[in-house]
């Protein structure tokens, strides 16, 4: 059992049967009124082969049993409303409740994408204002809100570059991607029809301009760069990197997944980026841990604007309208106009903070990450001797000497009441522990998190085998992850 720390919050372990196992014959969870229309023989209307009298093994439970079942299941989960969620490279940011209230205003929540423009002026104004604000934050000339998520924004951005280069007479054939990139970057380039060439990072975890210069020729369409990159380090040569690419007619694409470290402090458009996407759900507060929805707004410099997805918002005679007459557009990348609820939350977040507030949030995120780095550095090996931005990345070299790896430490961290950090990413870091606290965590929460990791470090020194078999305080102890991944059992059988 773990050493007693003030922050220990054992996970709830109420046993809960499957809904099928709670079933009792004859129970129902609904009541229907008497028919007020003539009865229809389903077999006669649909054909006997399409009708069945019962669904075999379908659970028969009351409404209260269903409610309690799913409520109990929800208590097994760990969410950002419970405590620090230190996943790095994902910015699991707290979502202020005012954002939820605004997104659920009846006129916004129930707006239909097909309703006439005359009835949609308010929603269109929200989109237009958000585009304007994001353009200012990005340092870009135009923004589209249509992409549905980060990787979708990447795809849109690379397709914009392809369309632009085609208009210049040659789409080229290659995209450069650093070895520190998110896995979606090379996948995006390939889907867009490009070959991928990988660039090796230098000893500071950054792109080496000399290596880049040797790799760029007339076949390179673009470079996809994350800044700050996935080891939490700002690419200090970014202006020189952009100049090298532009000199060869190539474009600079920025993966803006880590924009939480830049907002209000530095603008990608000012340091040479031609196109970037921003995960609005990360940087501007809609949590996405449940798998979505997201929003991957894309900002571009003016030479790429004609290729943005259609329709585009325009204003004429004081009214907003959708402009479909965009002959150079790459076309739609999504039905309708984007994940509107996420856009509303993003605008609410931006307006609530204002310019000075956004800058302060960024500086607080950087301060929190560097506070963690300073407290944990005596116990865990920092991956690169370069200044950390919004997240810090350690490696498990010291713990590996005792036979304990980053995954073991993450499992033990669950016993101390915290969600694990990002494990084994980025791939270029040996046994990576990637930690991103965000700006909203208090010093007390950060101290409790550090005390837990320090306690685990001490446990590794005295009883490494205990750590290797964690967790102990969860409903389910350690599982065989390989078997779970390769031979999942996802269907209930009686």
| Residue pLDDT, tens place only, 189-199 | 999 999 999 99
Alpha-carbon torsion angle 176, 179, 185, 190, nearest 10: 60
- Give the whole-angstrom CA distance, residue 380 versus residue 404: 12
How far is residue 276's CA from residue 132's CA, in Å, rounded to a whole number?
15
ω into residue 431 within 30 of 0, thus cis?
no
Are 100 and 297 in contact, with CB atoms under 8 Å apart?
no
Tokens of 469: 């078999």
Looking at residue 1, its pLDDT comes to 47
> What integer pLDDT is reported at residue 404 of this predicted model?
98
Tell which wins on pLDDT, 382 or 474: 382
Q: Is pLDDT larger for residue 174 or for residue 287?
A: 174
**What is the residue-averaged pLDDT of the chain?**
93
Mean pLDDT calculated for residue range 297-326: 97
The DSSP bridge partners found for residue 277 are: 255, 298
pLDDT above 50: residue 372: yes
**100-110 confidence digits (pLDDT tens):** 999 999 999 99
Categorize the per-residue pLDDT at 54 as very low, low, confident or very high, splitting at 50, 70 and 90: confident
| Mean pLDDT within 216-232 | 96
- Identical fold for domains 98-352 and 357-483, yes or no, is no
Choose among 447, 364, 436, 443: nearest CA to 93. Answer: 436
Q: Where are the domains of the chain?
A: 19-76, 98-352, 357-483
Helix axes 121-138, 340-376, angle to 10 degrees: 30
Tens digit of each residue's pLDDT (9 = 90 or more) over 200-210: 999 999 999 99
Q: What is the mean pLDDT of residues 123-147?
A: 98
Q: What's the whole-number mean pLDDT along residues 275-279? A: 97
Domain topology for 357-483: 3.90.1150
Work out the pLDDT band at 8, boundaries 50, 70, 90. Answer: low
- With respect to CATH, is domain 98-352 assigned 2.40.160.20? no
Q: How far apart are CA 162 and CA 159, in angstroms?
A: 5
Cα gap 428→433, rounded to integer Å: 12
Q: Coil, helix or strand for 403?
A: coil
Whether 4 has a pLDDT exceeding 50, the answer reads: no
* Cα 137 from Cα 266, distance rounded (Å): 8
Return the pLDDT at 2. 47
Query: Residue 286: what pLDDT?
Result: 83
Band (pLDDT 50/70/90 cuts) for residue 42 is very high
Phi, psi (5° rounding) for residue 429?
A: -100, 130
- The CA–CA distances, whole Å, from 336 to 15, 101, 276, 343, 427 equal 43, 23, 22, 13, 37
């Amino acid at each position: 059992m773990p050493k007693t720390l003030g922050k220990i919050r054992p996970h709830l372990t109420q046993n809960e049967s499957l809904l099928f196992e709670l079933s009792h014959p004859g129970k129902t969870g609904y009541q229907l009124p008497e028919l007020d229309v003539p009865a229809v023989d389903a077999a006669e209307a649909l054909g006997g082969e399409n009708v069945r009298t019962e669904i075999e093994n379908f659970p028969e439970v009351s409404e209260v049993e269903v409610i309690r079942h799913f409520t109990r299941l929800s208590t097994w989960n760990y969410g950002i409303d419970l405590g620090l969620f230190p996943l790095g490279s994902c910015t699991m940011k707290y979502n202020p409740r005012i954002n939820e209230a605004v997104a659920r205003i009846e006129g916004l929540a129930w707006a239909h994408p097909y309703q006439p423009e005359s009835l949609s002026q308010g929603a269109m104004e929200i989109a237009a204002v958000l585009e304007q604000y994001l353009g200012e934050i990005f340092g870009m000339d135009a923004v589209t809100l249509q992409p549905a998520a980060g990787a979708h924004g990447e795809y849109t951005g690379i397709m914009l570059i392809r369309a632009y280069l085609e208009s210049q007479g040659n789409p080229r054939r290659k995209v450069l991607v650093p070895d520190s990139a998110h896995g979606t970057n090379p996948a995006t380039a390939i889907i867009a029809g490009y070959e991928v060439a990988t660039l090796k990072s230098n000893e500071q975890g950054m792109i080496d301009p000399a290596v880049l210069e040797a790799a760029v020729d007339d076949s390179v369409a673009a470079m996809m760069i994350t800044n700050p990159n996935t080891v939490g380090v700002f690419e200090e040569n970014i202006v020189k990197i952009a100049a090298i690419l532009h000199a060869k007619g190539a474009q600079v694409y920025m993966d803006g997944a880590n924009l939480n470290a830049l907002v209000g402090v530095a603008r990608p458009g000012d340091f040479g980026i031609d196109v970037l996407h921003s995960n609005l759900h990360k940087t501007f507060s809609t949590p996405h841990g449940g798998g979505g929805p997201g929003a991957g707004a894309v900002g571009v410099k003016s030479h790429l604007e004609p290729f943005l997805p259609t329709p585009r918002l325009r204003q004429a005679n004081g009214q907003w309208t959708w402009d479909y007459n965009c002959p150079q557009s790459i076309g739609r990348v999504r039905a309708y106009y984007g994940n509107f609820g996420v856009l509303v939350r993003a605008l609410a977040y931006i307006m609530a903070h204002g310019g000075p507030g956004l800058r302060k949030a960024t500086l607080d995120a950087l301060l929190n990450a560097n506070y963690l780095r300073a407290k944990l550095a005596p116990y865990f090996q920092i991956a690169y001797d370069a200044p950390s931005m919004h997240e810090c990345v350690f490696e498990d070299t010291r713990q590996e000497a005792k036979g304990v790896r980053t995954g073991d430490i993450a499992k033990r961290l669950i016993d101390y009441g915290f969600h694990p950090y990002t494990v084994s990413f980025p791939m270029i870091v040996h046994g990576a522990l990637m930690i991103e606290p965000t700006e909203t965590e208090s010093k007390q929460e950060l101290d409790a998190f550090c005390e837990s990791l320090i306690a685990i470090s001490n446990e590794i020194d005295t009883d490494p085998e205990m750590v290797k078999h964690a967790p102990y305080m969860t409903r389910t102890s350690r599982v065989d992850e390989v078997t779970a991944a390769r031979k999942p059992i996802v269907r209930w059988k009686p």
